[in-house]
Structures are given as structure tokens and as C-alpha cells.
Structure 1
Amino acid sequence: MDADAIIIGAGACGLMCAVQAGYLGKKVIVLEKNEKPGAKILISGGGRCNYTNQFTTAEQFISENPHFIKSAFNQWTVGDTISFFETYGIEGKEKTLGQLFPDDKNAKDVVEVFTATCADLGQEIRTKADVKVIEILADGFKVTYEKNGKTITLKSEKLVIASGGLPIPKMGATDFALRFARKNNLKIIETAPALVPLTITGKDEEWFAQLSGNSVFCEVSNDEISFEENILFTHWGLSGPAILQISSFWRRGEVINLNLLPNENIASLVDGERKSNGKTLLSTLLNRFYTKKLTDALGKFLPLEKPVASLTKTEIESISKTIHEFKVKPAGDKGYDKAEVMRGGIDTNEISSKTLECKKIPNLFFGGECLDVTGWLGGYNFQWAWASGFVIAQNI
């Protein structure tokens, strides 16, 4: 055997698994298709890497089996993640909503923690290694990969597949894990882009496009869930944190609701303004909360040039509906090119929640994004990657 385990994928899960295995004196070889390890880590949080979230629980994850991740999160907590990175000089700083970023460092430093520690522990990371064949042997696994035109074969008793999901193809993402799972009769939960911008086409396209670049704090909701964060108008539709969040719960054909003024009541504001200065135009009132461009665009639906004292009861009801119940029916999403994560994946019922070992194929482990575990925006998916990498390392 060439190693105790072969790990396919040098992303967050694979790298954490390699380091944790090294702590336990286990020798692993990590095979990475890209030129460098940690491709998605490097672009996360705009290159700053929101590496965990202080509020992580199972509630912030989408899965057909929502209880599956609880065991991993009991074994590797947010506190463990914070302590791990502090050991290597990365102190967490909260940005918003529990998101932790490196205080005075960035995503490159996060990747460096793993590459340097793997080197110290004698763990090999082989880049430009394109895995072609996995053979299941009586005593382990045989992995054949290509590198620089050469075909190389490795054997190990245990195998870890942490090759990620379908986003982002230009960064080397593939359906490798899903193909292998299907080939070996493991059930797949239907996949789709998640944490992804939504597109608007048809008669409403021009209205949204004219607002491109405008951002507004909003409550975005559907029948299932709601999020309060900024939305961003784009020339093709909607983006921003609240839109990315709702996209994981949105299905084609559904309408989403935008409350464009979640912390106020527009009818009450109008009433208050009437008492203090009834000559105030509705546009002047709205400009206190929105950019002039957004206020002007809302003029398609609202009597902007009317003094608030002149507004009828029917008009105020219409204004309230527009501001607090702005309905949007997205045409679709921007796909895996722009998605941060994948929804769906390998059915967690195929995997032991305690060890992340495949139930049908002994000594085979899956972790990270290829499983049917999808976190919200804001460091949750990293926490799942670190936790799953740790759990696997204990069992290989």
C-alpha cells in the first residue's frame, strides 16, 4: 500500500482530513486536479474567506435528512474550528450575522495553514492529478490518475472522496463524486445550483436592468423561509446576500416576495409625515430610504409627485403593497458558473453519520459538498467541510 488513505480533492474537507490524519500518525496522499490546492477557499468571501459561522447549528442546512450532520458537528464544533486556526495565527473577526473572517489575514493564509502543516506532517498533496479510474479491491482501492501526460497508480486500504460539487466549472469543479456514486449504485438527491443569483426576463427585465448596481436592505421570503439582508439589482436580475440565501429554497416557477422596507411601516410613515408636513412629496419621503434611482423606478407603481396629504386610502394601501409585498417571479438562476454551492448530492442515507463511511462500500468515505448537505451563506458550508474532514480522519 502506498498510504493509509488516498484523498481525492484538496478542498476544505480534503485538506482538513489530511492534517487531522497526520496528527494521528496516518499517512495520506491527496490528489488534486487543479494546479494549486484550495481553489474555492481562495475565492471565498472575496478572497478574505469567511471560514466559519459562530451560530452554526443543523438548522442552517438543507438536506433530505436534516439530522445527518448533527453527529459531525458534535465531534467538531465551531469552537474547534476557531481554536484550530488560532493555533496557526489566524484570529477570527466577526463581520455580520456570526460570520468569522481572519482578522488581519486572508484566504491565502488559510490555505497556507493546511499546505504548510501537511508538509510538516509528511502528508503529500499531488496537484495536476486527474483521477481516471477507481478500482475497488478485496483489500482496498486502486486509484489511477494522470499527471503531466503520465499514468500513475496508487493503492491504499481506505479512500476518501472530497472532490466537491458542480460549482464552479472554470475552477475545475466536476461531477466526479456523483459519477462514481451512480456507478456504484448509490442514490443521488437531485442536484441544482444554490446560493446563486436569480435572473429576470420578459416584460420586467428592463425595469430591473435600469437599477443595476443599486443595493437595498430587504426582507426576501417565500412560503418556506425569509431572510433579511441586502439585495443587489443587476442588469440580468437580482443578487446580493438575501437573494443568494433564498435561491437555495427557490424552485423554478415560484414567486418570491420583497419587503423593500422591512423595519418600517410605510403607511405609518406617510401618516406621520402628513401630521408634520403634509406638503412633503411621496418621492421625498422615499428618498430618505432609497437611492434616487430606486425611488424614480418605483414611480412606475407609485404616485411619487403627490403630496402625502393628498394620498387617498386606496393609494396608501397600494403603496404599502408595493413597498412591503413586491412580488418577483424569477425566470431562472445564473447556474453553476455563479453558484457558490450545490443543492442535493449523494444521499446521506448511504453514509454513516458517525464516521461518514459508505454503508455499501467499506473503507470508502465521502465528505464536503458532494453529499446532500447544503449550508446557508456565511461560513456554514466551511464549517461542514472542516467537520466532515475531521470525522473522516478519525476513521481512516
Structure 2
Amino acid sequence: MNADAIIIGAGACGLMCAVQAGYLGKQVIVLEKSEKPGAKILISGGGRCNYTNYLASAEQFISANPHFIKSAFTQWTVDDTISFFETYGIQGKEKTLGQLFPDNKNAKDVVAIFTSVCADLGQEIRCNADVKDIEVLADGFKVTYDKNGKTVVLTATKLVIATGGLPIPKMGATDFALRFARKNDLKIIETAPALVPLTITGKDEEWFAQLSGNSVFCEVSNDEISFEENILFTHWGLSGPAILQISSFWRRGEVINLNLLPNQNIVVLLDEERKTNGKSLLSTLLNRFYTRKFTDALGKFLPLSKTVASLTNAEIEQIEQTIHHFKVKPAGDKGYDKAEVMRGGIDTNEISSKTLECKKIPGLYFGGECMDVTGWLGGYNFQWAWASGFVIAQNL
């Protein structure tokens, strides 16, 4: 055997697994298809890497089995993530909604920790290694990969598949884990882009496009869940944190609701304005909360040039509906090219929640995004990657 374990994928999960295995004296070889490890880490958080979230728990994850990740999150906690990075010189700085970023460092420093520690522990990371075949042996696994046109064969008693999901194929994402799962009769929960911008077409397309670049703080909701963060208008539809969040819960054909003034009541504001300055225009009131361009765009639905005092009950009701119950029916999403994660994946019922070992193929482990575990925006998916990498390493 060439090593105790072969890890396919040098992303967040694979790298953490390699380091943690090294701590335990286990030798692994990490195979990475791309030119360098941690490609997706490097672009996360705009290159700043929001590497965990203080609020991370099973409640912020989508899965057919919502209890699956509880064991991993007990074995490797947010505090463990924070302590791990502090050990190697990265202090966390909290941003909005519990997101933790490196203070005075960035994503490159995060990746550098793993490559440096792997080197110190004698763990090999082989890049430009394109895995072509996996053979399940009686006592382990034979992995065949291509490196610069040459075929290389490795064997190990344990195998870890941490190849991620389908998003951002230009970064090297593939359906490798899903293909392997299908080939070996493992069930897959239907996959789709998640944390992804939504598109608007048809009669409303021009209205959204004219607002491209405008950002508005909103409560975005559907029948299942709601999020309060910014939305961003684009020339093809809607993006921004709140839209990315709701996209993981949105299904084609559904309508989403935008509360454009979530922490105020427009009817109360109109009543107060009528008492103090009834001659002011509706547009003047709305300009206190929105950019002039956004207010002007609302003129398609609202009587902006009327004074507050002259508004009829029907107009006030229309204003209330527009501001607090703005309905949007997206045509679709921007696909895996723009998605941050994949929804769905290998069914967690195929995997032990305590060890992340495949129930049907002993010695095989799955970690990270390739499984049916999808976190919210804001460091949650990193916490799952670190936790799953740690858990697998304990069981190699």
C-alpha cells in the first residue's frame, strides 16, 4: 500500500482531513485535479474567506435528513475551528450575522496553513492529478490517475472522496463524486444550484434591469423561510445575500416576497407624515429610505407625485402592498457557473453520521459538499467541510 489513505480533492474538507490524519500519525496522499490546492477557498468571501460562523448548527443546513450533521458538529465545533486557526496565527474578526473572517489576513493565508502543515507532517499533495478510475479491492482501493499525460496507480486501505459539488466548473468542479456514487448504486438526492442569483425575464425584465447596481435592505421570504439582508438588482435579475439565501429554498415556478422596508410600517409612516407635513410628496418620504433611482422606479406602481395628505385609502393599500409585499416570480437561476454551492448530493442514508464511512463500501468515506448537506451563506459550508474532514480523519 502506498499510504494509509488516499484523499481525492484538496478543498477545505480534503485539506483538513489530511492535516488531522497527520496529527494522528496516518500517512495520506491527496490528489487534486487543479494546479493548486484550495482553489475554492481562495475565492471565498471575495478572497477574504469567511471560514466559519458563530451561529453554525444543524438548523442552518438543508438536507433530506436534517439530523445527519449533528454528530459531526458535536465532534468538531465552531470553537474547534476558531482554536485551530488561532494556533496558526489567524485571529477571527466577526462581521454581520456571525460570519468570521481572518483579521488582517486572507484566503491565501488559510490555504497556506494547510499546505505548510501537510509538508511538516509528511502528507503529500499531488496537483494536476486527474483521477480516472477507482477499483474496490478486497483489502482497500486502487486509484488510477493521469498526471501530465502519464498514468499513475496508487493503493491504500482507506479512500476519501472530498471532490466538492458542481458549482464553478471553471475552478475545476466536476461531478466525480456523483458519477462514482451512481456507478456503485448509491442513492443521490436530486442536485441543483444553491446560493445562486435568480433571473428575471419577460415583461418585468426591463424594470429590474434599469435598477442594476441598486442595493436594498429587504426581508425576502417564501412559504418556508425568510431572510433579512441586502438584495442587489442586476441587469439579469436579482442577487445579493438575501437572494442567495432564499435561492436554496426556491423552486422553479414559485413566487418570492420582498418586504422592501422590513423594520418599518409604511402605513404608520404615512400617517405620521400626514400629521406633521401632509403637503410633502410620497416620493419625498420614500427617498428617506431608498436611492432616488429606486424611488423613481417605484413610480411604475405608486403615485409618487401626490402629496401624502391627498392619498386615498385605495392608494395607501397599494403602497402597503408594494412596499411590504412586492411579489417576484423568478424565471430561473444563473446555474452552476454562479452558484456558491450545490443542493442535494449523495444521500446521507448511505453514510454513517458518526464516521462518514460509506455503509455499502467499508473503508470509503465521503466529506464536504458532495453529500446532501447544504449550508446557508456566511461560513456555514466551511464549518461543515472542516468538521467532516476532522471526523473522517479520526476513523481512517
TM-score by length of 2: 1.00
Which residue pairs with 2:241 in the alignment? 241
* Superposition deviation, residue 318 in structure 1: 0.6
Partner of 1:319: 319
Distance (whole Å) between structure 1 residues aligned to residue 57 and residue 19 of structure 2: 24
Q: Equivalents in 2 of 1:249, 1:283: separation in Å?
A: 34
**Alignment-derived partner of residue 216 in structure 2:** 216
In the alignment, is residue 158 of structure 1 matched against residue 163 of structure 2?
A: no
Letter in 2 for 1:365: Y
Say which SS state the counterpart of residue 112 (structure 1) adopts.
Answer: helix
Partner of 2:357, secondary structure, is: coil
Counterpart-to-counterpart distance in 2, 1:99 and 1:113: 20
Partners of 1:40 and 1:269 lie apart in 2 by 45
Deviation at 1:190, TM superposition (A): 0.1
SS at match of 2:96: coil
Structure 2 CA distance, aligned partners of 1:67 and 1:266?
40
The aligned residue for residue 109 of structure 1 is 109
Which residue of structure 2 lines up, in the alignment, with residue 366 of structure 1? 366
Q: CA deviation at 1:385?
A: 0.1
Find the aligned partners of 2:99 and 2:280 in 1 and give their Cα distance: 41
Corresponding letter in the other structure for 2:326 = F
What is the match of residue 145 of structure 1?
145
Segments of 4+ in structure 1 off by > 6 A? none
**For 2:57 and 2:137, how far apart are their aligned partners in 1?**
38
Please give the residue correspondences for 1:11-30 in structure 2 after superposition, counting only pairs within 5 Å.
11-30=11-30
- Match of 1:143, SS state, is strand
Give 1:157 deviation, angstroms. 0.2
Unaligned runs of 5+ in 1: none
Cα shift at 1:305 = 0.3
Matches within 5 A, 1:39-54: 39-54=39-54
Q: Which residue does 1:100 correspond to in 2?
A: 100
Where in structure 2 are the equivalents of 1:265-344 lying within 5 Å? 265-344=265-344
Count of residue correspondences: 396
Q: TM-score, normalised by structure 1?
A: 1.00
Q: Which residue identity does 1:346 align to in structure 2?
A: I
Deviation at 1:156, TM superposition (A): 0.1
Q: Identity across aligned pairs (percent)?
A: 88
Q: Deviations over 1:326-368 (max 9, x none)?
A: 0000000000000000000000000000000000000000000
**Residue pairs, 1:47-62, within 5 angstroms:** 47-62=47-62
1:9: which partner in 2?
A: 9
Task: Provide Cα deviations, 1:35-60, integer angstroms capped at 9, x if missing partner.
Answer: 00001000000000000000011000
Match of 2:251 in 1: 251
Give the whole-Å Cα distance in 2 for the aligned partners of 1:61 and 1:296.
Answer: 38
**Structure 2 unpaired stretches of 5+:** none
Shift of 1:105: 0.1
- Hey, what's the Cα distance between the residues in 2 that align with 1:73 and 1:57? 7
Q: What CA distance in whole angstroms lies between the structure 2 residues aligned with 1:368 and 1:57?
A: 15
Give 1:192-231 correspondences, 5 Å limit.
Answer: 192-231=192-231
Q: Per-residue deviation at 1:116?
A: 0.3
| Structure 1 CA distance for aligned equivalents of residues 65 and 238 of structure 2 | 30
Match of residue 120 from structure 1? 120
Tell me what 2:191 maps to.
Answer: 191
Q: Aligned to 2:7, what secondary structure does the other structure show?
A: strand
Deviation at 1:19, TM superposition (A): 0.1
Superposed CA deviations along residues 108-162 of structure 1, whole A, max 9, x for unmatched, are 0000000000000000000000000000000100000000110000000000000
Cα displacement string for residues 161-201 of structure 1 (whole angstroms, at most 9, x for unaligned residues): 00000001111100000000000000000000000000000
Asked whether 1:388 is paired with 2:388, we answer yes
